[in-house]
Amino acid sequence: MPIGRMLVLSIMAGMFISLAGTASSIVAATVDNHSIARMLMALVFPAGLAMVVLNNSELFTGNNLLVISLLDKRISFLSMIKNWVVVYIGNLLGSMLVTGIITIGHVYSSFDNAMTTRVINIAVTKASLGASDAFTRGILCNVLVCVAVMMTLMAETAGGKIAALYFPIFVFVVCGFEHSVANMGYISGGIFANMKYGNCGVDVSSLTWYRFFVGNLLPVTLGNILGGCMTGVAYWFISRKDK
């Protein structure tokens, strides 16, 4: 695939995931019970991957399954890495484009700024994670995401694909696992909301660009890669064994 097309499709995917993340924050904005809030977010967030899949967009975490093509010798290692780098950059651009526009449009001030508090709290929680926690949660997250992607390949209709991906994504959100592309939207949104509206009484000492990129995205991304590749290798092995 030409790099230009790949970049545009990855920007679209980043936008879809960021929009779903924003929607999930909105439905939980005024809910005090943490379990119910998490469940509501999990009910909404799968819309992001549904839009990615049905629009044939390029999502970094799903593309970790390219390891299957590598093992089948259909692509080279360098081609796989190039895809991951371009798609990751595009996902980041798309995610931050959405959170930037949302900030300008005062969406974060919804519900008498309850949305601001929710968005900043989510971002602070993620930015405060230790590297080992972020890494391990990233592994489990992308196992589920890649299982969801593989399940969509077994469905032929749009409705079937949505139904197939829904529950693995629901599970990862409910469990609080870490998804690098989702975090691009969640944490950048929290930073932008804090810059525009103030911290709403939340301790934002960990809400920095350094913690965003190095403290969270780096270990989560590495965990996502490991989880995605593990899942891809497992599916590849099963397929080879059946032959």
Let me know if residue 25 belongs to a domain: yes
What CATH number is associated with residue 84?
1.20.1080.10
Please write the tens of the pLDDT for every residue from 164-218: 999 999 999 999 999 999 999 999 999 999 999 886 788 899 999 999 999 999 9
> Per the structure block, which two tokens stand in for 220?
């989560």
Let me know if residue 56 belongs to a domain: yes
Between the alpha carbon of residue 225 and those of residues 77, 146, 154, 168, 189, the distances in Å are 14, 10, 23, 17, 24
Q: Report residue 243's pLDDT band, with 50, 70 and 90 as the boundaries.
A: low
Domain extent, residue 49, equals 3-237
Let me know if residue 242 belongs to a domain: no
d(CA 129, CA 57): 29
Please write the tens of the pLDDT for every residue from 9-56: 999 999 999 999 999 999 999 999 999 999 999 999 999 999 999 999
- pLDDT for res 162: 98
pTM beyond 0.85: the answer is yes
The DSSP result for 51-100, as a single string, is: HHHHTT---HHHHTTHHHHHHTTSS-HHHHHHHHHHHHHHHHHHHHHHHH
The total number of structural domains that make up the chain: 1
φ, ψ of residue 33 in degrees (nearest 5): -70, 120
Please write the tens of the pLDDT for every residue from 96-122: 999 999 999 999 988 888 999 999 999
d(CA 168, CA 177): 12
